[in-house]
Structure 1
Amino acid sequence: MMIEKDWLDRPFENFMELADAIGETLECPVTIENANHQLIAYSSHHATTDPVRTATIISRQVPEHVTGALWKSGVLRMLMESDSPVKVKAIADMGLGERTVISIRHHGDVLGYIWVLEEGRPLDAKGTALLVKAAGIAKQLMLQLQMHKHKEDEGRHNFFWQLLTGQGQTDEWIRGKAASLHMQLPERFQIVLFQADTDMALNVIRQMQYLMSAAENTQIVVQVRDGRQFILLVSPSAFSRSDSSGSTLIGYVTRHMLERFGTVLEGAAGLAYDSYTLVAQSYKEAQQLLELKRRFPRELRLVRDYHSLGYYRYLPLIHTQQRSPFETGVIAKLRNYDREHNNCLLDTLKAFLELDSNIKDTADALQIHPNTLNYRLKRISEIGDIDLKNMDHKVTVYLELKLEHL
């Protein structure tokens, strides 16, 4: 590849100028992206391209199926760990031509990427060296962009905390404040929480932001980190009244964080509301869901949103109404009998109620004969003074058993 002039030997005011200069120097189409693979700039003087580059320019985002393939091939992981350019082989059925890519880094953190579509002209040593030089120039532009964004985000974070703590008095005041911060509030929203076992590291936040930037039908309005939690105000592009969008986002992020980065996260979403005076309420619901999932890990392992909690949402309300520790006569009698006779009638009753009073399923779960189960149920009715054919009796005892976990 002939490089007669170094177009990079001058100052640059913006990314578009830089992308064009890289393209002129290397005689190849160039795109510059941020760390979330959102398009920042692209060279404009090249007639030839490939379908992936075209799709990226049109949508301003690298298609999710492409980033997924690059993760599986190990390319993106290499870029996150290396300062050097990485060669990317063509994937014909995806419309991805051969490329060389370099990460834009600062103190080990990835700020973005420069992609060079080689079009059958692989970069030589001089071209590779110039790409490294271009990454250094791009770093300075990225830092300037981040500095401006940091000042803007600080005001938004403070405003978000006001909403989370219930300090937004009226919708009119809230929308006025949002407008002053150049925030466009959607008509409907909900709070989504992600929680880690330890304080959220910055690299984990960036990985999550990267994944969420590719999530379809979901808009992240504002976000903030708080110790082990990452809190988001979310609105999908087409909100369903079932409040399922937050659950979908949680499933997508938690699954890919585990598969791609080996990071285990728990997620929870509050209800969706129209009034921004209820941001604190949605936040409280998401927090309550996380706490209930901690206390009932088996029963609630698949629940991601407050809407799907069912009767579990009422347990804290019942629990707070109890002025002193309470135990029904049924539970007390069975627990005392089991203690005195080294028996397991209370555990049998729990299994029977949890399995919808199904004799076969309960016997299978306890690994006993159905006749043995029927005998135990008869003894439970006699000792506990409970009618196991009476729904009111069963529901009362079932709820009391659940309340013991709070």
Structure 2
Amino acid sequence: MLDVGALVERVGPTLLRTVIAGEPSVCVGDVVIAEPDEPVTAAEGDLVLGVAIGERQDAVALVQRCSELGAAAVLLKPPAGTDEVVAEAAKTAGVGLVEVRTGTAWAQLVWLIRAAMAGTGVGQPSERGADVGVADLFRLADAVADVVDAPVTIEDAHSQLLAHSARQDLTDPARISTIMGRRQPDDVLAKFRSRGTFRQLSKGNSAIFVPAQQDGTLPRLVVPIRMGGELLGSMWAVVPGPVSDERSSAFADTAPLVALQLLRWRAVADVARRRSAEQVRLLVDGGEGWRAAANELAVPNEEHRVIAIEVPDSGEPAEGQRLALWEWITRGIGRRPLVTEIGTVLYALVPDRARGGGWPELREALMSHEATPQPLIAVGTAVGVADVPRSRAQADELIGLLRAGHLQQRVAVYEDVWHLLALSRMAGAATDAGVGALGPLPRLREHDRAQGTDYLATLHAWLRHPGDPRRAGRELRVHPNTFRYRMKRIGQLVEIDLDDPDVRSALLMQLLAEQWAQHA
């Protein structure tokens, strides 16, 4: 346990200066916030931070009240912290008085004091990596909550939850859903957007008050988190109503500290992500060292699927979109999916199980994820860990079909579309072999080009629906009699024995190859 003098020394003279030492035998208990016109709830040995105490009379009253409660010291910024009358009152009351240097963020101070009381250092990367960075964010959220006297969430620029304060004394369904779902619900985001909240966040640096909404969402105090002009995220405090200018300013003052911690967390997370990505890449490639990679990643000995995810070109930087999707995928969907990036494609390796971070759970999350444009998702078959490269090859082939538009859906699972893969491979082989130049098709192709007819498509429809001119005509959107007439004209143009099954098979293969080649 530390007394006030030792604590000030540990935090450092850059932020704190002891004005009145107080009782040296009193050990510091906790840190509490005091504001004008609000009762002080300090206990014996507490440090009391006068967050919005600027007037001499308020400071003297606070010192006297803290003496009655047995607090160890009062911390004030200038001018109150350097006022001789306030210092004399503290000396008379037997309470320590500590000056907080101008420009010090109160949240930073709370965070540093608690770290000093716990005997831990802050601000240095740890060997434990990203998990420690996340823990620091949670501790920082608690410190900010103390400053603003309200529950707080820290979110990234995509409204994904990074950390939240422990206090839950004031909450609503929107905050609960944000914490449980690790992101703000879409309907809540839509309402904040309609009010212009995110537009204000993108432009300013000050705190924004958002009134209560008709659906029961409580008021919010929101502040952007910036560094070097980049919007890193935002902080959201659930408040009972309008907030004083002093408290709003104190909340906004915490943003630079949070920004520094977010940058540190992002740097540590990037190192961990790159290391994990290298190991996942070894595993999906199947090269030398895949066993060691599987051991380092602690891949369970069960069947897995490789999920290939590609973000279509939307005019925005694709790298940023992939990074945002990567961060979203790996933020706690069951057992975090193992993700890597190869070229323009993200690959996720997930167990083929219903729960605990398996493919069905990831699929549900991906389908519910609001993104523009929506990503293309290709899923290889379930395989053992040693056969992961085979699942990856299937996913690659499927993503090619999605990219070319051969599949209308945006999610392709190997077991559901294997027949299309077979047709694709066959069409590719036929095209390479030049089979399209054989038989009567070249003459029909030339007639379509010269006369504007549609005989190749007509023949294809007949082969797909033999003996059923109604279905074939419906596919071409023509009357059955028109379809019959076209087939009659084809018979007059070329000699073709459609009663021969081998001829029909050869024609269908040629037409499929031509059709798939047009979309390649």
State the TM-score bracket (shorter-chain normalisation): 0.7 to 0.9
User: 1:228 matched to which residue of 2?
Assistant: 344
Aligned pair partner of 1:287 in 379, 396, 416: 396
2:237 aligned counterpart, secondary structure: strand
* Map of 2:258 onto structure 1: 138
Q: Deviations over 1:174-202 (max 9, x none)?
A: 431214xxx77875332222133379544
1:203 aligned to 2:320? Answer: yes
SS at 1:315's partner residue? helix
- Are the counterparts in 2 of residues 222 and 232 from structure 1 also a CA contact under 8 Å? yes
Tell me which amino acid in the other structure corresponds to 1:273.
A
The answer on 1:116 being equivalent to 2:237 is yes
How far 1:139 moved relative to its partner? 1.0
Q: Residue 455 of structure 2 corresponds to which residue in structure 1? A: 345
What is the Cα deviation at residue 346 of structure 1? 1.6
Contact 1:199 1:228 in 2 (8 A): no
State the match for 1:188 in structure 2: 304
Residues 206 and 249, structure 2, Cα contact 8 Å, conserved in 1: no
- Judge conservation of contact 2:139–2:165 (CA < 8 Å) in 1: no
1:107 equivalent to 2:228? Answer yes
**In structure 1, C-alpha distance between the alignment counterparts of 2:449 and 2:490, rounded to whole Å:** 14
TM-score by length of 1: 0.77
RMSD value over aligned CA atoms?
3.9
Structure-2 residue corresponding to 1:374: 484
SS at match of 1:167: coil
In 1, the alpha carbon distance for the partners of 2:229 and 2:301 equals: 35
Q: Is the 8 A contact 2:224 2:234 kept in 1?
A: yes
Other-structure match for 2:283 = 163
- Aligned residue for 2:153, secondary structure, equals strand
Aligned equivalent of 1:275: 384
Q: Distance in 2 between matches of 1:52 and 1:64?
A: 10
Matched residue type, 1:317: R
Cα deviations across residues 334-369 of structure 1 (Å, max 9, x unaligned)?
335556766432232234456787533543565644
Question: Is 1:148 equivalent to 2:268 in the alignment?
Answer: yes
- In the TM superposition, residue 209 of structure 1 has moved relative to its aligned partner by 4.6
CA gap of 1:321–1:272, structure 2 versus 1, over 3 A, is closer
Q: Using the TM superposition, give the Cα deviation of residue 213 of structure 1 relative to its aligned residue in structure 2, in angstroms.
A: 6.9
Displacement of 1:247 in angstroms is 5.9
Quick one: distance in 1 between partners of 2:162 and 2:326?
A: 15
Q: Secondary structure at the match of 1:309?
A: helix
Q: Aligned-pair distance for 1:71? A: 4.9
Secondary structure of the structure 2 residue equivalent to 1:257: coil
Aligned to 2:107: 8
Correspondence for 1:359: 469
1:87 pairs with one of 188, 203, 209: 209
1:326 lines up with 2:435 in the alignment: yes
Per the alignment, do residues 400 and 195 of structure 1 end up closer, same or farther by CA in structure 2, a change over 3 Å counting? farther
Shift, 1:33, TM fit: 3.3
* Larger of the two Rg values belongs to structure: 2
1:300 aligns with 2:404: no
Read off the aligned partner of 1:99 and give its amino acid letter. R
Deviations 1:30-51 (A, max 9, x none): 233344522413053x633333
1:176 matched to 2:290:
no
1:400 pairs with 2:510: yes
Structure 1: 5+ residue stretches without partners = 259-263
| Percent identity of equivalent pairs | 22
CA contact (8 A) 1:111 1:139 kept: yes
Would you say the 8 A contact 1:15–1:141 is kept in 2? yes
CA distance in 1, matches of 2:382, 2:303: 9
- Say if 1:161 and 1:331 are closer, same or farther in 2 by CA, change over 3 A: same
Q: Any unmatched runs of 5+ in structure 2?
A: 1-34, 37-51, 54-75, 78-105, 113-121, 123-135
Alpha-carbon deviations, 1:364-393, whole Å to 9, x = none? Answer: 5656442232122234356351427x7765
Measured after TM superposition, the shift of residue 168 of structure 1 is 5.6
> What do residues 238-263 of structure 1 show as CA deviations (whole Å, max 9, x unaligned)?
169x976666555444xx322xxxxx
SS of the residue 2:295 aligns to: helix
Deviates more, 1:11-20 or 1:159-168: 11-20
Is the alpha carbon distance of 1:97 and 1:386 closer, same or farther for their aligned partners in structure 2, counting shifts above 3 Å? farther
CA separation in 1, counterparts of 2:182 and 2:403?
40
Q: Bigger relative contact order, structure 1 or 2, given CA contacts below 8 A and separation 6+?
A: 1
Matched-pair contact (CA < 8 Å) for 1:98–1:117: yes
The number of equivalent residue pairs is 387
Q: Deviations over 1:141-187 (max 9, x none)?
A: 112222222221121111122123221666x54431214xxx77875
**Given residue 113 of structure 1, which amino acid in structure 2 is its aligned partner?**
S
Amino acid at match of 1:371: N
Q: Is the 8 A contact 1:330 1:386 kept in 2?
A: no
Alignment of 1:256-271 (within 5 A): 256-258=370-372, 264-271=373-380
Contact 2:354 2:361 in 1 (8 A): no
* Greater mean deviation of Cα atoms: 109-118 or 346-355: 346-355
